[in-house]
Amino acid sequence: MPYVAVPSFLTALRRKPSYSRLALDLLILTGVRSQEVRLAKWDEFDLDQRLWTIPAEHMKRSRAHIVPLSEAAMAVLVRAEAMRLEGAEVAFPGMTGKAMSNMTLLKVMRDMQEPFHVHGFRSSFTDWAANEGFPNAVVEAALAHKTPDAVQAAYRRTTFLGTAENPGARVKLMESWGTYCSGSSIEE
């Protein structure tokens, strides 16, 4: 989906709340892969610190990944918490109360008559970030991509997260993306 279409898509997505729609919303706002959001458990989220620590076993490269949570992403989690099923470990359960299937998010897209694929939102995010002038290294870190240059990989060990007192470039990137995506469409 072209990034210019994402805000209006999110507005439409939020009209009918469901676990699958909330999961897709969080996926878009955080730039994660489908598996990472579908398998997300409540204990991965530190809402006080506004961080989501995705365990290595859920990641493509088998390395834990920390995702800063924007205001918009936090709003999605508040809505999901309000709908939380008693006893469910996953934040966005499927029909059985366990993790939703890998086709569920694509079904949301098809039900909304969108021809795009879920994974393509990572491209939407990347295109938007490039257009906004965010450094490629920061965007690649946000997407949990491997640094292709061996020398840079050996020396660049930052997560671009910064500290609570001095938020890093990834925190600013995700907040800016969340603001762009949501505009005034965040519903409490």
Residues marked active site are found at 33, 60, 119, 122, 145, 155
Q: Calculate Rg over the CA atoms of the chain.
A: 16
How far is residue 115's CA from residue 125's CA, in Å, rounded to a whole number?
17
Encoding tokens for residue 126? Answer: 């990347």
Token pair 């005034």 in the structure block, residue? 184
Q: Which residues contact 27 (CB under 8 A, 6 or more apart)?
A: 33, 34, 36, 37, 105, 118, 121
Sign of the CA dihedral running 15, 19, 21, 22? positive
Q: Which residues contact 172 (CB under 8 A, 6 or more apart)?
A: none
Element (H, E) at 67: strand 65-68
